[in-house]
Structure 1
Amino acid sequence: MTFHFRRLCCFPAILAVVLQLLHGVAGQLVVIDEPTSAPPPPLVDLDGGVGGIVPAMFIFGDSLIDNGNNNNIPSFAKANYFPYGIDFNGGPTGRFCNGLTMVDGIAQLLGLPLIPAYSEATGDQVLRGVNYASAAAGILPDTGGNFVGRIPFDTQIHNFETTLDQVASKSGGAVNIADSVARSLFFIGMGSNDYLNNYLMPNFPTRNQFNAQQYGGHLVQQYTNQLTRLYNLGGRKFVVAGLGRMGCIPSILAQGPDGKCSEEVNQLVLPFNTNVKTMISNLNQNLPGAKFIYLDIAHMYEEITANAVSYGFTTLDKGCCGIGKNRGQITCLPFETPCPNRDQYLFWDAFHPTEKVNLIMAKKAFAGDRTVAFPINIHELASLN
């Protein structure tokens, strides 16, 4: 089946130009200070976290879990300005959220500190883990080129190698750290930008080269090689997040005539998720000692929206911070005033969930049943010998 995205592809190119101008201004004006008042407590109770079951967590991904790696590179994909971080203790950090990300919540549940960005990690901080994620990054090296600077997955893996060298030099060599690396958790969340900032962009050739099924296969072939690299570097416990209902994000909703989810986009990403599940099964069979688990982000989204009232959500189709239709035509701008009732919003901006959603998903991933994490959940994976 061939998909046609002429209508869906026009706006991101305009958005990139606007962001180029605004991020240039923001880079000159924004100073990150401590907030004048303490932020509210986490919106989801994370009590019940268990300490000491993994030595560290290493994180690879895109803007959904980036915590500042793009801050100091020439990139238009940045979130180191207010109101990003409005509910984070310390203000804007580079997280594309009002507060904590999903991996922040998982770190807390594991009894780990918040994992530092690779660009900022120093000294013994790296011993508890490093976050290599980068906004606009993808599985494919060309993905996100419309935002200029970003750190693709291949480069994130290279940065992990650099961390290993640093730790080994302090700890008596690679052999001495092998056991700790094998017991550590590797969280990988890639693929969103390979659609939003590659396949769906009019200046990329990929949708003329591949149909939906072929593209999903192409991505997962590259993904398999990259995850195998991490295995060869010593990783054994892997959490791989699938793609969510991307046709329901405010940016895509704003491009439709009726404000409804784009089933065209939702169907487009299905082959990727299907192939990732098959990949995980194959890697578990073929890589001795490895355990890969899959997080069904799309199912989590569907469960949350189906039970929105019980979770306290009232707004499912608009960004809390943004401009235009569905507050998704222009994403959150420097010094824009966001919605005051952030815990009632599913989305923070045109692309990313609020802290509340992130922490709900973290808890589901950590202790959920087989509908959201399989073949086991993160707690069970972390507890394996």
Structure 2
Amino acid sequence: MASNFLFLLLRLFSFFFFSTFRGFTLRVAEARVVPAMYVFGDSLVDVGNNNYLQFSFAKANFPHNGIDFPTKTPTGRFCNGKNAADLLAEKMGLPTIPPYLSMASKSNNLTLFLNGVNFASGAAKIFKDTNQQHPQSISFGEQVDYYLAVQKELVQKLGASKAQTHLSKSLFPIVIGSNDIYTYFGSSINNRTSPQQYVNSMAAALKQQVKRLYDYGGRKFVIVGVALVGCTPYERNEQTNQECNADVNQMAAKYNGVLVSMLKNLKSELKGINYSYFDGYSVMHNFIQKPAAYGFAEVKAACCGLGKLNADAPCLPFATYCSNRSDHLFWDRTHPTEAAHRIFVDRILYGPLQYTFPINVQKLVAV
């Protein structure tokens, strides 16, 4: 009896030993495609940084946001569920990437930093916010400043060589620019700066920050162009005929053209840099032109809100929301649903070339 029990234990030990060292670890290695993701951007990829900004009104840490998130609670994501940053991390075999400001006060963040950090901030712009006393968001440059602090800690704990290897294999997604374009039309800037001058300065400022990330370890960048932001429920609601705002869309397209040219030049300037540009503008245009082909029944009105197109107010706790979130393009008056984010991420990962160039992210991680 004892010998049978001992034999069973040995068999179990053998199974777990070989499963762990021959099978399980191999599957884990295959599941994790990149070491980490360091995410920069605006509300499209914010996972809760703005929750920590005392004076910011750009927050989503209240119902009905998060109604389809795994915890069924609002987290600071401007979405009914997961956003593109969450979904891309899943595809990369990574755990949920935490917001930087949730980690900044903790004493030992190395383990978390090794998986990646999300620096994105709702309402963030490429240009710095003019109200520095009570900032509504964390600008792109300030996000890069935070990254430098993370990079410094990685170097201190891992050593310069291992930290550089880790960062050079990691992904650096950047999703920003929409709020700069909205600012142009909503301020006096357009009285003294032409659209072309403005988008040129946007691309130049972005380039400066990407070079800083490169100088401190970044090599693989996922750059997302500005989408068809003149077609959000908010912009439609401002038009008498509820059509898209053509001026806003034209400027977004103009910026994307300059951005693509800048990235091509950057590739020739910086040794070892690689990138995948995602044309979110064209993909969103397809959603609106042929919604049924992508599973959408509603591409004009928001799911959550009040008034015309559910766009007279943001998705506040007293707002109404639709029961069929997955067939709506927009969750609230400016942000996509999780269903839309999922399609965006699939295109970011797998292309085709007309939407992701010079390579898609699947090929980028293999470089």
**TM-score higher than 0.5:** yes
Corresponding residue for 2:24? none
Q: 1:127 to 1:290 in 2, by over 3 A?
A: same
Q: SS at the partner of 2:40?
A: strand
Using the TM superposition, give the Cα deviation of residue 329 of structure 1 relative to its aligned residue in structure 2, in angstroms: 2.1
Aligned amino acid, residue 259 of structure 1: Q
Please show how residues 362-381 of structure 1 align to structure 2 within 5 Å.
362-381=345-364
Name whichever of 326-335 and 124-133 sits farther off. 326-335
Partners of 2:286 and 2:30 in 1: CA distance: 26
Corresponding residue for 2:10? none
Using the TM superposition, give the Cα deviation of residue 296 of structure 1 relative to its aligned residue in structure 2, in angstroms: 0.1
Corresponding residue for 1:153? 140
Aligned amino acid, residue 349 of structure 1: D
Corresponding residue for 1:120? 102
The answer to whether 1:56 aligns with 2:41 is no
Partners of 1:249 and 1:110 in 2: CA distance: 29
Q: 1:115 to 1:190 in 2, by over 3 A?
A: same
Partners of 2:292 and 2:162 in 1: CA distance: 51
Name whichever of 367-376 and 303-312 sits farther off. 303-312
Q: 1:325 to 1:257 in 2, by over 3 A?
A: same
Using the TM superposition, give the Cα deviation of residue 312 of structure 1 relative to its aligned residue in structure 2, in angstroms: 2.2
Name whichever of 261-270 and 314-323 sits farther off. 261-270
Partners of 2:216 and 2:179 in 1: CA distance: 25
Aligned amino acid, residue 337 of structure 1: T
Q: TM-score, normalised by structure 2?
A: 0.87
Corresponding residue for 1:189? 175
Q: TM-score, normalised by structure 1?
A: 0.83
The answer to whether 1:258 aligns with 2:245 is no
Aligned amino acid, residue 374 of structure 1: F
> Is the contact between residue 253 and residue 281 of structure 2 (CA under 8 Å) also seen in structure 1?
no
The answer to whether 1:281 aligns with 2:264 is yes
Identity, % of aligned positions: 38
Q: SS at the partner of 2:31?
A: coil
> Which one of the candidate residues 165, 169, 176 is aligned to 1:179?
165
Partners of 2:363 and 2:251 in 1: CA distance: 32
Runs of 4+ in 1 over 4 A off after TM superposition: 143-147
> Is the contact between residue 306 and residue 320 of structure 2 (CA under 8 Å) also seen in structure 1?
no
1:351-381 CA deviation, whole Å, 9 max, x = no partner?
0000000011101110111111100000100
Using the TM superposition, give the Cα deviation of residue 144 of structure 1 relative to its aligned residue in structure 2, in angstroms: 8.1
- Structure with the bigger percentage of helix: 2
Corresponding residue for 1:32? none
1:286-308 CA deviation, whole Å, 9 max, x = no partner?
10000122100011112223331
> Is the contact between residue 64 and residue 101 of structure 1 (CA under 8 Å) also seen in structure 2?
yes
Using the TM superposition, give the Cα deviation of residue 112 of structure 1 relative to its aligned residue in structure 2, in angstroms: 1.1
Partners of 1:367 and 1:305 in 2: CA distance: 21
Higher relative contact order (CA 8 A, sep 6+): 1
Q: SS at the partner of 1:383?
A: coil
Q: 1:271 to 1:310 in 2, by over 3 A?
A: closer
Partners of 2:266 and 2:337 in 1: CA distance: 33
Aligned amino acid, residue 123 of structure 2: A
> Is the contact between residue 283 and residue 292 of structure 1 (CA under 8 Å) also seen in structure 2?
no
Partners of 1:144 and 1:307 in 2: CA distance: 41
> Which one of the candidate residues 46, 59, 63 is aligned to 1:66?
46
Q: CA RMSD in A?
A: 1.8
The answer to whether 1:77 aligns with 2:58 is yes
- Number of aligned residue pairs: 332
Partners of 2:226 and 2:193 in 1: CA distance: 19
Partners of 1:339 and 1:144 in 2: CA distance: 36
Partners of 1:158 and 1:336 in 2: CA distance: 37
